[in-house]
Amino acid sequence: MGRSPCCEKAHTNKGAWTKDEDQRLIDYIRIHGEGCWRSLPKAAGLLRCGKSCRLRWINYLRPDLKRGNFTEEEDELIIKLHSLLGNKWSLIAARLPGRTDNEIKNYWNTHIKRKLFSRGIDPQTHRPLDQPTATNTNTPTELDFRSVPVVSIANPSLDFKFNEFQVKAKAESLEEGNSSSSGMTTDEEQKQCKDKFPCTGQELNLELSIGAPSFGRNNNSTTGVSTSNSAESKRRSDNRNFQFPQHASSICLCCQLGFQTSENCRNCQNTNEFNRYC
């Protein structure tokens, strides 16, 4: 079907944002909350298209952004998540509090790719570079999640039952329409999975899942403003738009990383909306 342009192309600014534009956008969202991006520019007095405003807010102005260099821990987590999810940057970003999909995508392309190459690993397949891939060109996300072995992450703080993680990651991926399963179920294929995700022998069960990190009874923690429009209620059901809790520092690591909702994490004790560490 034909689509109209996302916004009126004429009379809109392009390129780098000025401080004044940033401030206008911040002020507007502070008062009215996120949403209605199409009408936002006009309402906020900005000569920008809605998409541009949304992008600027999400990637740069949001107050919960972490900024700064990626830690080694984050590096490894991104690599692991990419091996599971492929180029699903938004899904990966959802597991890295304070990081945006754009930021992770850029970081992947500029740093991690190189890092993996230097380790002799193909960043796309996560296989050794000298290993032929002709027999199985599937991306990691196309692995059959039923055959994935239990593995753990080197960093003890991130150890968890990796097979469960992958099952849920796969399920989520399927839910999102990425249903290109290779149907790998044979022993040979399971062996391939083990090669891909070598088990270190250290297996901790932290009951982590990759479900939507639906923290936030206060969905407006970002702006501190109540929004009651339908767009907001829609977003509440959208796991790509979760808000990090204001009391994030008091919840367990898996919750902070977005692996688990505080309601469901059996490693947390949820009392009066505060959780003790796992």
Binding residues for DNA, per CB under 7 A?
1-4, 6, 13-17, 35-39, 48, 50-52, 54-56, 59-60, 87-91, 101-103, 105-107, 109-111, 176-177, 230-231, 234-235, 237-238, 240-241
Q: Which of 183, 143, 176, 146 is nearest to 164 (CA)?
A: 146
Q: How many CB atoms lie within 10 A of CB 4?
A: 6
To DNA, the closest distance from the beta carbon of 102 in angstroms equals 5
Length of the chain: 278
To DNA, the closest distance from the beta carbon of 30 in angstroms equals 17
Nearer to DNA, 140 or 267 (CB): 140
To DNA, the closest distance from the beta carbon of 140 in angstroms equals 13
Alpha-helical runs (H) found in 108-152: 113-118
To DNA, the closest distance from the beta carbon of 114 in angstroms equals 7
Nearer to DNA, 105 or 146 (CB): 105
Nearer to DNA, 15 or 132 (CB): 15
Nearer to DNA, 133 or 233 (CB): 233
To DNA, the closest distance from the beta carbon of 66 in angstroms equals 12
Contact 85, 173 (CB under 8 A): yes
Q: Which of 31, 23, 66 is nearest to 220 (CA)?
A: 31
Nearer to DNA, 225 or 231 (CB): 231
Q: How far apart are CA 260 and CA 254, in angstroms?
A: 6
Q: Which residues contact 253 (CB under 8 A, 6 or more apart)?
A: 157, 158, 277, 278
